Amino acid sequence: MPPPRTRAEVQAQKQKEKLAQSYHDLLEEFSSKDLRSVGNYTLGRLIGKGSFGKVYLASHKLTNGSKVVLKSSSREDTNLPREIHHHRQFLHPHIARLYEVLVTEKLVWLVLEYCPGMGRDELYNYLLRHGPLPVDKVKRIFTQLVGAVAYVHSKSCVHRDLKLENILLDKHENVKLCDFGFTREYEGKASYLQTFCGTICYSAPEMLKGEKYAGEKVDVWSLGIILYALLAGELPFDEDDDQVTKTRILTEDPAYNDRFPDDAKTLINLLLSKRPLIRPSLDEILAHPFLAEHAPEQLAILKIPRPAPFTTPLEKTTLQRMKSAGVNIDEVVDSVLAQRCDPLAGCLLCLSCLVYQSQFPSNLQLPATHLHPLTKTLFGLLVLPDTAHYRLPKIEDAQAGQVHCM
Looking at 63, 85, 113, the residue that finishes a domain is 113
pLDDT of residue 336: 86
Write the CB contacts of 155 (distance below 8 Å, at least 6 apart in sequence): 86, 89, 90, 387
Q: Tell me: do 236 and 142 sit in the same domain.
A: yes
Residues comprising the chain, all counted:
406
Write the CB contacts of 25 (distance below 8 Å, at least 6 apart in sequence): none
Looking at 113, 143, 173, the residue that finishes a domain is 113
71 is in an annotated binding site: yes
179 is in an annotated binding site: yes
**pLDDT-wise least confident of 30-39, 237-246, 316-325:** 30-39
185 is in an annotated binding site: no
In a domain, residue 20? The reply is: no
Residue 142 has pLDDT above 60, yes or no: yes
pLDDT-above-90 percentage for the chain:
54
Residue 236 has pLDDT above 80, yes or no: yes
Query: H or E segment at 326?
Result: none
Q: Which residues pair with 53 in a beta bridge?
A: 50
CA angle 148, 384, 345 (to 5 degrees): 85
The span from the CA of 121 to the CA of 203, in Å, is: 23
In a domain, residue 390? The reply is: no
In a domain, residue 375? The reply is: no
**pLDDT-wise least confident of 73-82, 185-194, 309-318:** 185-194
SS3 121: coil
Q: Tell me: do 61 and 138 sit in the same domain.
A: no
In a domain, residue 377? The reply is: no
DSSP H helical ranges for 279-394: 282-286, 295-302, 313-324, 329-337, 343-359, 372-381
Q: Tell me: do 299 and 326 sit in the same domain.
A: no
pLDDT tens for residues 21-31?
Answer: 655 554 444 33
Q: Tell me: do 149 and 281 sit in the same domain.
A: yes
Q: Are 377 and 314 in contact (CB under 8 A)?
A: yes
The span from the CA of 65 to the CA of 153, in Å, is: 35
Task: Write out the catalytic residue numbers.
Answer: 161
Q: Tell me: do 232 and 348 sit in the same domain.
A: no
Host domain of residue 343: 313-364
Residue 189, judged by CB atoms within 10 A of its CB (0-12, 13-18, 19+), counts as: exposed
Q: Are 301 and 370 in contact (CB under 8 A)?
A: no
| DSSP 8-state secondary structure symbol assigned to residue 63 | G
In a domain, residue 385? The reply is: no
CATH value at residue 63: 3.30.200.20
pLDDT of residue 21: 65
pLDDT tens for residues 24-53?
Answer: 554 444 334 567 889 999 999 998 887 778
Residue 308 has pLDDT above 80, yes or no: no
pLDDT of residue 36: 86
pLDDT of residue 10: 66
Residue 4 has pLDDT above 90, yes or no: no
Query: H or E segment at 394?
Result: none
pLDDT band at 338 (very low <50, low <70, confident <90, very high): confident
Write the CB contacts of 328 (distance below 8 Å, at least 6 apart in sequence): none
The span from the CA of 119 to the CA of 126, in Å, is: 10
| DSSP 8-state secondary structure symbol assigned to residue 184 | E
The span from the CA of 395 to the CA of 232, in Å, is: 41
Per the model's pLDDT, the better-predicted residue between 191 and 232 turns out to be 232
240 is in an annotated binding site: no
Query: H or E segment at 246?
Result: helix 242-251
SS3 103: strand
Q: Tell me: do 174 and 320 sit in the same domain.
A: no
Residue 167 has pLDDT above 80, yes or no: yes
pLDDT of residue 309: 79
pLDDT band at 404 (very low <50, low <70, confident <90, very high): very low
SS3 161: coil
pLDDT of residue 190: 59
Q: Tell me: do 265 and 294 sit in the same domain.
A: yes
Residue 63 has pLDDT above 80, yes or no: yes
Q: Tell me: do 272 and 169 sit in the same domain.
A: yes
Per the model's pLDDT, the better-predicted residue between 156 and 404 turns out to be 156
Residue 300 has pLDDT above 80, yes or no: yes
Looking at 303, 322, 348, the residue that finishes a domain is 303
Q: Tell me: do 223 and 179 sit in the same domain.
A: yes
pLDDT band at 69 (very low <50, low <70, confident <90, very high): very high
In a domain, residue 140? The reply is: yes
- What values do phi and psi take at 128, rounded to 5? -60, -40
Q: Which residues pair with 43 in a beta bridge?
A: 58
Determine the average pLDDT of the residues in 187-213: 89
Per the model's pLDDT, the better-predicted residue between 287 and 105 turns out to be 287
CATH value at residue 146: 1.10.510.10
Q: Are 133 and 127 in contact (CB under 8 A)?
A: yes
Q: Tell me: do 293 and 322 sit in the same domain.
A: no
Q: Tell me: do 161 and 86 sit in the same domain.
A: no
In a domain, residue 4? The reply is: no
pLDDT-above-70 percentage for the chain:
80
Q: Tell me: do 97 and 148 sit in the same domain.
A: no
Q: Are 257 and 228 in contact (CB under 8 A)?
A: no
Write the CB contacts of 404 (distance below 8 Å, at least 6 apart in sequence): 338
pLDDT of residue 33: 54
Residue 399 has pLDDT above 60, yes or no: no
Determine the average pLDDT of the residues in 305-314: 80
pLDDT tens for residues 342-361?
Answer: 999 999 988 888 887 776 54
For the chain, what is the domain count? 3
67 is in an annotated binding site: yes
In a domain, residue 341? The reply is: yes
